Amino acid sequence: STQSSGSSGINAEYGILTHNNMEHVDVKTMLKLKELTDLQLGYNALKCFPAVVTRMEKLEELSLIHNQISILPDEVVQMRSLEKLHLDNNVLTELPEYVTMQLPQLRALTLENNKLAPNTTQVGGSRKTRSKFYYKIGVTDASIA
C-alpha cells in the first residue's frame, strides 16, 4: 500500500451509503471524508441527524431521505457550503427557521412526507436574498421568487 499512516483524509467527493439499515454513522470514518461534496445517507434507519456531517466543510448536498429523523440539531447552521438538503420521508415535526435563515448557500430543501404541522408553508429567508430558493413541503411544490 502506498498510503501513509499519517494520512488525514480520504480523497473522495461523493459518498453513497444508502440502503444499509444503518442506525448511526461512524464518526471517525466521516471525519476522514473531508473532501466530500455529496453525501447520500437515504434509506437507512437513522433516528438522529448525524451531527458529524455538520463538520464536513465542503458538503454541498446531503440526502437523508427515508430515515426516522425527528429533529434537526442546532449545528446544522455550521454547514456553510450546503446547497441542497433532502429530508423527505422522515418524522420531522418542525422546521426551525434558522435552518434556512443561517445557511447562505442553501438553494433546495425537500421535506415531503414528514409530520410537519399543516401551517408549515413559510420557509425562512427574505425574497430578496432567496431569489432562487426551492422547497417542497407536503404534496405541493413552491418556489420563492
Residue 104: per-residue pLDDT: 86
Tell me if residue 22 falls in helix, strand or coil. coil
pLDDT tens digits, 89-138: 999 998 887 787 888 899 999 999 999 876 564 454 433 333 345 566 55
Mean predicted lDDT score pLDDT of the chain? 80
C-alpha distances (whole Å) from 90 to each of 7, 24, 93, 111, 117 are: 36, 15, 9, 8, 14
- Asked if residues 106 and 82 have their Cβ atoms less than 8 Å apart, the reply is yes
**3-state percent helix, strand, coil for the chain, nearest multiple of 5:** 15, 15, 70
